[in-house]
Amino acid sequence: MATDTLKSKPGAQGGATAGLRRLLLDNGALTALIVLVIAMSALSGDFLTTDNLLNVGVQAAVTAILAFGVTFVIVSAGIDLSVGSVAALSATVLAWSATSHGVPVVLAVVLAVATGVAAGLVNGFLIAYGKLPPFIATLAMLSVGRGLSLVVSDGSPIPFPDSVSHLGDTLGGWLPVPVLVMVVLGLVAALILGRTYIGRSMYAIGGNEEAARLSGLRVKKQKLAIYALSGLFAAAAGIVLAARLSSAQPQAADGYELDAIAAVVIGGASLAGGTGKASGTLIGALILAVLRNGLNLLSVSAFWQQVVIGVVIALAVLLDTVRRKAGASTPAAGAGSPGGRRKQAATYVLAAVVTVAVVGATSFLHGGSGSANPKVGLSLSTLNNPFFVQIRSGAQAEAKKRGVDLTVTDAQNDASQQADQLQNFTSSSYGAVIVNPVDSDAAGPAVRAADKADIPVVAVDRGVNKAKTETLVASDNVAGGELAAKTVAEKLGGSGKIVILQGQAGTSAARERAEGFAEGLKAYPGIKVLAEQPADFDRTKGLDVMSNLLQAHPDVEGVVAANDEMALGAIKALGSKAGRSVAVVGFDGTPDGLKAVKDGTLYASVAQQPSQLGRIAVDNALRALDGKKVDATVKVPVKVVTRKNVAGFAG
Amino acid sequence: MSSPDELLRIEGIRKTFPGVVALDGVDFDLRRGEVHVLLGENGAGKSTLIKMLSGAYTPDAGRIVVDGEEVRINGAQDSERLGIATIYQEFNLVPDLTVAENVFLGRQPRRFGMIDRKRMEADAEVLLKRVGLDVPPGARVRELGVARLQMVEIAKALSLDARVLVMDEPTAVLTSEEVERLFAIVRRLREDGVGIVFITHHLEEIAALGDRVTVIRDGRSVGQVPARTPEDELVRLMVGRSIEQQYPRARPETGEALLTVEGLTREGVFHDVGFEVRAGEVVGIAGLVGAGRTEVARAVFGADPYDAGAVRVEGAPLRRHDVNAAMAAGIGLVPEDRKGQGLVLDASVEENLGLVTMRSATHAGLVDRKGQRAAAARVAGQLGVRMAGLGQHVRTLSGGNQQKVVIGKWLLADTKVLILDEPTRGIDVGAKVEIYQLVNELTAAGAAVLMISSDLPEVLGMSDRVVVMAQGRVAGELTAAEATQDTVMALAVSTRHDSGDTRRDNGTEATGGH
């Protein structure tokens, strides 16, 4: 934008090649993207297909749309951490008003967009008039937005109205609407940044706020508008995200603000403000999407993926800084200093080599043998929990025994990342797919796509709604919940005071177990529930929540936790009380949980058999692949493990 | 080579930046125990040259010879090893560390891995004594004034056993008494055999301190002359022509009062300030630092609030603390801090020039960038902004050209009342005269100019009337005929009763006729 005149100086040698070289030299992110695409194509035959590239586009869409909004804020030397939450809130408001309250869809969309704008205005107001640092104001909004979306949705996903869900479909059978929305909003963002008063003000305010003010720019009002625009784009991103999943998830887009910020910075913007372009941001978002997609295709282990993504983000920005530095100290085109050019070229080569090496090494380290074995994909909701790690080991053991290439991906409890992973399995024609849904509703559209491609899908642990799966391999959560309630009630002799630690709001396991607890406790009117609080299936949170509850209710006699991790956290909080004056009951029967049962601190755990779940899921997937008949549901029994029977029990 | 005393020789240095040839064939040499002045307009290439010595830039062609050997200086470490220390206009000190810590930053004496505070402060004390600075080594740098900061920088250079000391406009920020003290230290260093490269715009300092002068013009060294060369001759070498008149004020007929300020008061800052500026008139505001001149200017422009009083433009009262109201009434402000308040440094010339007019160039939310570019090209041509193109970032322009851009954005907005706060600070003689010409053109066209300046000869030379402020009040008003150095000074110190303040012996921050 600002350097047109310098750029348009005739180069040393005219012509298209020189132009292309200039373009690449002037744009480090674009170079990084091209290097990455070349590396991925070389490493995976499935990468460079039209289908897969459209996939990449779809997967970049939400991040890109969020990032366009964040670009405005970053160019004006601010930061917006709330976009992920605001996206989720807007989508939730849309679904809540349209689906739950019968508001006309058009009005609901307007309402959702207004929600995003309002959140942005609040941010802008706090920053411009309340003089809060942008980091703090938007951090507050991050929490408020997420909380409100949980409040509005009551913690459960709400089905998205069908008419809006078409935003997640394809146009003419091949062009995904999210890609179209991304491109259109990208053009809008470019227009705003390049041509409008507010856009030009962003550069002035970001470059020197005081100079802008003294030149008559109404800086405070502009800031309001800038954050409102960011909220508007966040709302759009939230709607596209929910449309893809046909479901508004209160926990959607968690952590996306960081992806968005990364995309903006990779795209060449400076966090100090004053620079940045919409095209750069788009490239940044594409880099992230290409990486995730490519690493999935290459069967890079879920854990290594995060390492690689971090390394590539750092490399991409490093490349750009080095380029700028070289640009600043090399003389004008024509004068020619071969040393500088050579150094620059060396940097690019180095970056390319490192990228290829990192991606290649991780893929060869963990990739399959590339033989004619059937390929099966397993998408787990998370690997941050021993239960799912055990599902994985069971599945891997079975796959090895049966000679199957098993690719395991980790959705990190993010429904849309899971949709991406399932899409990647589908587009690279896996033989069968096993899915452990983050959310039963949200997995629907992606599983339907697999169905369409005639790929058998097996659900494990949680079902998939509104899509055909060959079978559901699961323990019965409701029954397990009832068992847990019964166990603690019996232990207390039918009367006593207990607290319940619930799982992560919005997940089906948390809902079903809570349902089971409630159902089971009905039979014991003498049991008084003092408090019921979510601790997100997390041990640390279990510890914190229990410590807090103990302050209010020191007389508690029993604890029911929706998984062992939280139970173990509660035991930490209870200290010596655990197992003596307080009976703690967990759920899952993880190795740590069983050890605690053995030690007597955990009274009982309702044990699932996760490695069995994994084993049976792979078995059923292979049967389906061979065209054999499978049962609609396979129930893996749960059982209460106490000190008496723990010795004979192995997950 | 030529002389056993030679410390440093630079031959045929060339350096280009994208679109600009900054240096093209500069020769320079420095002997032991001399003060060699580098003289040149802003943008002539002095700063680029000294950055070659400090290792910030490397030359594209040419040689740097230290002690008879050709060297490559690739960074601060290299220059430190060669005994070259540079003191920039912007100091490299950490405000929240102590004086001693700053002097030994990165080289703090250590014992068992811990910093040996005692030894560090003792060593620092010796150095501070050498530069005649009487602050405790444990004092925080934040608490020191500008002159003392400079002494700390010099002490830091001495701690590195520097044999070559490069000083970039060290006197620009000092009062005359502080300048004298600095000179005494520089002379002492010279006696110790240190070679000093001294950059200044103040011609009278050359004869007072220098031994030889190298003049740089447009990236070339155009001459090496002894320091006793007459000032006229130095100016001629520097700008390539002789400057007829330093203050070319043409006084047109004055008209109606355009700007009227009455009883303007902000508690504790300024009190009951009143004056008027008529069409075609230049009113200068003189006074000591801290007299409240800048504060009044900012309040008039609406940048800061005031408690009482009124500002009128052509009789119509202005809303208080409202920059946009002031602009709508036709007031423009060229602020004191050019880089911090006047410019978006990493934006282009075109964008900076278009900043004020951007709103009026917006139709249906879209900025007419073509029109903006045409307007910017016109005004940049009119002002003679020296640049590679409208797309050049203003950060890379010289000070004088930056100031032209700041003034240019107000010209584009058809400003009727232009407030200039220190319009020529840090700007070379040639560019100064161009800015004075501009002021003449503005007033000839019927605009009013309010000029704040600490450069007393400038105030006297350019103003039609001088308002003198002291301690936040108007101490008096003088016509151009009445105003002399003495009458202005008498007013500037008039309400000061204290005798303890010895900051300047001639009573003004004006450091004489530069």
User: A6 vs A234, which has greater pLDDT?
Assistant: A234
pLDDT higher than threshold 90 for residue B512: no
Does the pLDDT of residue B19 top 80, yes or no? no
- Average pLDDT, integer, range A134-162: 92
B258 has pLDDT over 70: yes
pLDDT band with cut points at 50, 70 and 90 for residue A327 = low
User: Which member of B19, B367, B409 has the closest CB to residue A200?
Assistant: B367
Record: contact B391-A6, CB cut-off 8 A: yes
Split at pLDDT 50, 70, 90, the class of A245 is confident
| Nearest C-alpha in B relative to A4 | B391
Distance from the Cα of B39 to chain A's closest Cα (Å) equals 25
Comparing CB atoms, the residue among B16, B351, B366 nearest residue A335 is B16
Contact assignment for B391 to A208 by CB distance below 8 Å: no
Average pLDDT of chain A, as a whole number: 85
pLDDT at residue number B507: 38
Residue B277 backbone dihedrals phi, psi, to 5 degrees: -125, 125
B323 touching A, CB under 8 A? yes
pLDDT at B377: 94
Least confident of A111-115, A236-240, A270-274: A270-274
A135 has a pLDDT exceeding 90: yes
Neighbours of A399 (CB within 10 A): 25
Nearest residue in A to B18, CA atom: A332
Q: What is the pLDDT of residue B144?
A: 84
**Distance between CA atoms of B407 and B403, rounded to whole angstroms?**
6
Burial of A50 (0-12, 13-18, 19+ CB in 10 A): exposed
- Do B453 and B284 touch, CB atoms closer than 8 A? yes
**Where does the pLDDT of residue A364 fall: very low under 50, low under 70, confident under 90, or very high at 90 and above?**
low
pLDDT digits (tens, 9 = 90+) for B390-438: 999 998 888 888 999 999 999 998 899 999 999 988 777 778 888 998 9
The tokens for B8 are: 């440093």
Nearest partner of B400 among B427, B436, B437, judged by Cα: B427
Specify the amino acid at residue A636: V
The continuous run of DSSP H or E covering A278 comes out as: helix A278-297
pLDDT score, position A22:
65
Query: DSSP letters along B82-142, please?
Result: TTEEEE-SS----TTSBHHHHHTTT---EETTEE-HHHHHHHHHHHHHHTT--S-TTSBGG
B61 touches chain A (CB under 8 A): no
Between CA A37 and CA A33 the distance in angstroms is 6
A461 torsion bin: left (phi>0), alpha (psi -120 to 50), beta (else):
left
CB contact burial A85-109 (16+ within 10 A = b; e otherwise)? bbbbbbbbbbbbbbbeeebebeebb
Residue A41: what pLDDT?
86
Q: A18-55, pLDDT tens digit by residue?
A: 666 666 666 678 888 888 888 888 887 778 888 888 88
Q: State mean pLDDT over A374-397.
A: 89
Residue pair A239/A90 in contact (Cβ under 8 Å)? The answer is yes
Q: Which amino acid, residue B244?
A: E
Q: Find out whether B347 and A204 touch, Cβ atoms under 8 Å.
A: yes
- Asked if A274 lies within 8 A of B344 by C-beta distance, the reply is yes
Do the beta carbons of residue A332 and residue B18 sit within 8 Å? yes
Distance of alpha carbon A304 from alpha carbon B113, whole angstroms: 38
DSSP-H helix ranges across B364-413: 369-383, 399-412
Query: Touching check for B351 and chain A: CB below 8 Å?
Result: yes
> Per-residue confidence at A631, pLDDT binned at 50, 70, 90?
confident
Q: Bridge partners of B329?
A: none
Indicate whether A12 pLDDT > 50. no
ipTM of the complex: 0.70
Q: Measured between alpha carbons, how far is B177 from B172 in angstroms, rounded to an integer?
A: 13
| Inter-residue contact A240 to A416 (CB < 8 Å) | no
Residues of A with CB under 8 A from a CB of B: 2-7, 9, 194-201, 203-204, 207-208, 210-218, 274-275, 327-333, 335, 337
Q: Give chain B's mean pLDDT.
A: 86
How many C-beta neighbours within 10 Å does residue B112 have?
Answer: 5
The arithmetic mean of pLDDT across residues A443-459, rounded, is 89
Q: What is the pLDDT of residues B327-376, one digit of tens each?
A: 999 999 999 888 889 999 989 999 999 999 998 899 988 999 999 999 99
Q: Is A201 helix (H, G, I), strand (E, B) or coil?
A: helix
Q: Is pLDDT at A368 greater than 60 in this prediction? A: no
| A chain contacts of residue B362, beta-carbon cutoff 8 Å | 196-197
% of chain A beyond a pLDDT of 70:
88
Query: Which residue in B16, B335, B409 is closest to A331 by CB distance?
Result: B16
Confidence of residue B281 (pLDDT cuts 50, 70, 90): very high
pLDDT of residue A629: 84
DSSP string, A340-405: HHHHHHHHHHHHHHHHHHHHHHHHHHHS----SSPEEEEEES-SSSHHHHHHHHHHHHHHHHHT-E
The edge-to-edge listing of strands for the beta sheet with A405-410 is: A405-410, A375-380, A432-435, A457-460, A471-474, A633-635
Q: Please state at what angle helix A338-366 crosses helix A28-43, rounded to 10 degrees.
A: 40
Cβ contact B359–A216 (<8 Å)? yes
B381 touching chain A per CB within 8 A? no
E-assigned strand segments in B439-500: 448-452, 465-470, 473-479
pLDDT tens figures, B367-385: 999 999 999 999 999 888 8
Chosen for mutation from B15, B74, B355, B356 (greatest number of chain A CBs closer than 10 Å) is B355
Contact A214 B393 (CB under 8 A): no
Backbone angles phi, psi at B332, to 5 degrees: -130, 150
pLDDT over 90, % of chain A: 45
Residue B209: phi and psi, rounded to 5, are -125, -35
Residue A345: what pLDDT? 62
The half-sphere exposure of A439 on its side-chain side, counting CA atoms within 13 A, is 27
In tens, the pLDDT along B60-103 reads: 899 999 988 899 888 888 888 899 999 887 788 888 889 998 88
A175-202 pLDDT per residue, tens: 899 999 999 999 999 999 999 999 999 9
Does A359 have pLDDT greater than 80? no
B362 and chain A in contact, CB less than 8 A = yes
